[in-house]
């Protein structure tokens, strides 16, 4: 299962692996691997981009006639799609696999090129013990850069129990023997990485973040599979499983005082399995960021990236967000936010608090106070609106010399910046980012830690129209939650409920509508507003699929 088998050898074009799959480039990939009693085929489809280690392809060479037909017709023909259906036997089982090779277009925009590399593959697999998950998505490149700064990843990852140094606990020996005798469990994983100032950090994160999550979970294999509460302290310094008896009361004393049978840890806090997974994902982001820092020189990694990852594990979705991507669940027509954005505006108080406590980080160039606009020197002594780290409202203050410095947080909405430099405040990378022509580092103000929200799939009976949507800001800048929910419902109702392609078509429709159509006055949405000029990536993940039908 671990060796890669290349079915199609066109580099960067169509590429199918067995076993672990991973991809990068302006393309999409879908993986589904072994799960409980079953082992699944998975397929990686990539279009118009470059796989790691492959030379970038010239998009024009791939499109041929399309590009020659000019922007308008390219756009039209690009929307067509080709369905290829593969029925492949494997290991005595049959898997229906639909690989829908989507449209690819190469279009001109404002005199430049605008790729719209779109690829998708739906993997249909009969799973009885786990909720059926059908990853479907779209990635589009606005042409801002040769490498798409939006990167995506979709994986099924096996978390193998770390070998114990002192032998395993017999009672836990029998569980989780999933993978040819290897003990562990699987998690499903989808992630979007929206790069900035280069695609380097995004590419690396798309290749590695799930491995860091896997690494963090390896110590928890036994603990997560044991229904009793996680042990607060592990008896031995092994990495495999707990050893503290859960129910034995300890005393407050530390051994020097005789044990007087007073129950010890009366303030002991209960820690849930769920919060261990959250902690594992949080620390995985930190390790990912550290790896980017370590290898940025040798690997020539440029820039940073927002990261939005969904992990499906033991009946729950863990949605981790660091940046301005967004995830929502649409359930029975209702919108359930699964993330919030981290921007200079939403994190203003955290940043101001840090700057207030560590003014040296501002390099004497910036003030931690926020003002609604730049102050002119001649306004000294007048009263200006301001707010500090403690305020959400505004008040007037008399302008002093120090207030003439540039504000740490400046601008509004998409134009808001930290130290006039960056518009997102969480994510991976950016270790070399400095204020323009200065030696002031931005990184101390950026956090690599995500906020993780949990959605318990078992708490609600989901229908085939219930989905989790992940999207980069290219989608959300021009399409709000309600509009996305509208598109989801509109497209899904036009397909049979048991047709896995319907989710792919939702993702395509969301991307295409957010990009808009090229008119005389630029790319325009249906409402004639400006379309997104950014890379757009969308995952549409069904929460109740065909496998669930009665």
Q: Which residues contact its own copies by CB under 8 A?
A: 216, 219, 230, 232-237, 250, 252-255, 264-265, 267-271, 274-283, 286, 350, 353-354, 357-358, 371-379, 381-385, 387, 390-396, 398-399, 410-412, 415, 447, 449, 451-452
Least separation in angstroms between CB 396 and its own copies: 6
Distance from C-alpha of 441 to C-alpha of 274, rounded to nearest angstrom: 35
Structure tokens, 184: 């562990």
Which of 51, 49, 71 minimizes the C-alpha distance to 62? 49
Q: Which is nearer to its own copies, 128 or 374 (by Cβ)? A: 374
Least distance CB 466 / its own copies (angstroms): 24
Which pair of structure tokens corresponds to residue 213?
């999550």
Q: Which is nearer to its own copies, 4 or 235 (CB)?
A: 235
**Residue 189 φ then ψ, to 5°:** -150, 130
Contact 52, 12 (CB under 8 A): no
Residue 507's φ and ψ, nearest 5 degrees, are: -60, -45
φ/ψ (deg, to 5) at 441:
-80, 140
Which of the 8 DSSP states describes residue 176? Answer: T
Instruction: Tell me if residue 139 falls in helix, strand or coil.
Output: strand
Q: Which is nearer to its own copies, 114 or 387 (CB)?
A: 387
Whichever of 92 and 255 has its CB closer to its own copies, that residue is 255
We find the least distance from the C-beta atom of residue 216 to its own copies, in angstroms, to be 7
User: C-beta of 535: minimal distance to its own copies in Å?
Assistant: 25
Integer CA distances (angstroms), 4 to 182, 293, 425, 533, in order:
20, 29, 37, 36
Complex with its own copies: residue 74 or 352, whichever CB lies closer: 352
What angle separates helix 481-493 from helix 501-515, to the nearest 10 degrees? 140
- Extract the tokens encoding 193: 């990485």
Overall residue count recorded for the chain in this entry: 550
Helix/strand/coil for 384: strand
Query: Minimal distance in Å, beta carbon 219 to its own copies?
Result: 7
Least distance in Å: CB of 301 to its own copies? 22
> At its nearest, how many Å lie between its own copies and the CB of residue 257?
11
Closest CB to its own copies among residues 232, 525: 232
For 485, residues 6+ apart whose C-beta sits below 8 A from its C-beta are: 328, 330, 333, 335
| Shortest Å distance, C-beta 270 to its own copies | 8
**Nearest approach, Cβ of residue 175 and its own copies (Å):** 20
DSSP 462: P
Helix (H, G, I), strand (E, B) or coil at 331: strand
Name the residue nearer to its own copies (CB basis): 52 or 456.
456
- Return the number of the residue (312 or 371) whose C-beta is nearest its own copies: 371
Q: How many CA atoms lie within 13 A of 492 on its CB side?
A: 25
> Can you say how many angstroms the Cα of residue 519 is from the centroid of all Cα atoms in its chain?
32
| Residue placing its CB nearer to its own copies in the complex, 450 or 471 | 450
């Amino acid at each position: 299962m671990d060796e890669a088998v290349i079915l199609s050898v066109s580099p960067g074009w169509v590429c199918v692996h067995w076993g672990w799959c991973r991809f990068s480039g302006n393309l999409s990939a879908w993986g589904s691997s072994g799960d409980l009693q079953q082992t699944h085929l998975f397929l990686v489809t990539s279009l118009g981009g470059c796989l790691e280690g492959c030379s970038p392809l010239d998009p024009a060479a791939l499109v041929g006639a399309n590009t020659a037909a000019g922007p308008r017709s390219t756009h039209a023909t690009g929307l067509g799609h080709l369905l290829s259906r593969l029925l492949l036997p494997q290991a005595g089982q049959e898997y229906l696999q639909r690989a829908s090779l989507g449209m690819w277009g190469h279009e001109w925009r404002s005199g430049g090129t605008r790729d719209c590399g779109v690829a998708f593959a739906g993997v249909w697999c009969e799973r009885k013990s786990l909720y059926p998950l059908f990853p479907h998505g779209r990635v589009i490149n606005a042409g801002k850069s040769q490498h798409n700064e939006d990167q995506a990843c979709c994986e099924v990852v096996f978390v193998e129990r770390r070998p114990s140094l002192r032998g395993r606990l017999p009672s836990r020996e029998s569980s989780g023997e999933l993978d040819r005798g290897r003990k562990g469990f699987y998690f499903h994983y989808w992630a979007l990485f929206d790069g900035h100032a280069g695609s380097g950090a995004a590419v690396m994160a798309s290749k590695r973040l799930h491995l860091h999550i896997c690494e963090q979970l390896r110590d928890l294999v036994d603990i997560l599979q044991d229904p009793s509460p996680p042990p607060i302290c592990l008896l031995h310094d092994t990495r495999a499983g707990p050893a503290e008896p859960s129910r034995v009361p300890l005393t407050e004393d530390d051994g020097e005082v005789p044990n007087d049978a007073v129950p010890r840890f009366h303030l002991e806090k209960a820690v849930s399995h769920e919060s261990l997974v959250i902690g594992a994902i949080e620390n995985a982001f930190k390790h990912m960021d550290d790896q980017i820092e370590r290898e940025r020189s040798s690997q020539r990694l440029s820039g940073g990236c927002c990261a939005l990852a969904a992990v499906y594990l033991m009946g729950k979705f863990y949605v981790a967000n660091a940046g301005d991507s967004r995830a929502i669940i649409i359930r029975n027509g209702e919108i359930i936010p699964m993330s919030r954005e981290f921007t200079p505006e939403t994190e203003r108080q955290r940043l101001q608090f840090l700057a207030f406590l560590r003014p040296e980080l501002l390099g004497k160039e910036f003030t931690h106070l926020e003002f609604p606009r730049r102050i002119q020197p001649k306004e000294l002594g007048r009263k200006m609106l301001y707010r500090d780290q403690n305020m959400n409202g505004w008040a007037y203050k008399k302008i002093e010399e120090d207030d003439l410095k540039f504000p740490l947080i400046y601008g509004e909405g998409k134009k808001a910046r930290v130290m006039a430099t960056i518009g997102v405040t969480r994510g991976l990378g950016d270790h070399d980012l400095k204020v323009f022509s200065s030696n002031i580092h931005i990184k101390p103000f950026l956090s690599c830690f995500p906020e993780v929200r949990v959605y318990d799939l078992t708490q609600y009976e989901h229908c085939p129209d219930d989905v989790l949507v992940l999207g980069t800001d290219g989608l959300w800048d021009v399409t709000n939650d309600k509009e996305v929910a509208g598109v989801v419902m509109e497209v899904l109702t036009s397909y049979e409920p048991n047709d896995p392609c319907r989710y792919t078509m939702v993702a395509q429709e969301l991307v295409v509508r957010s990009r808009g159509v090229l008119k005389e006055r630029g790319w325009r949405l249906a409402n004639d507003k400006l379309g997104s000029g950014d890379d757009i990536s969308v995952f549409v993940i069904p929460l109740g699929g065909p496998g669930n039908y009665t």
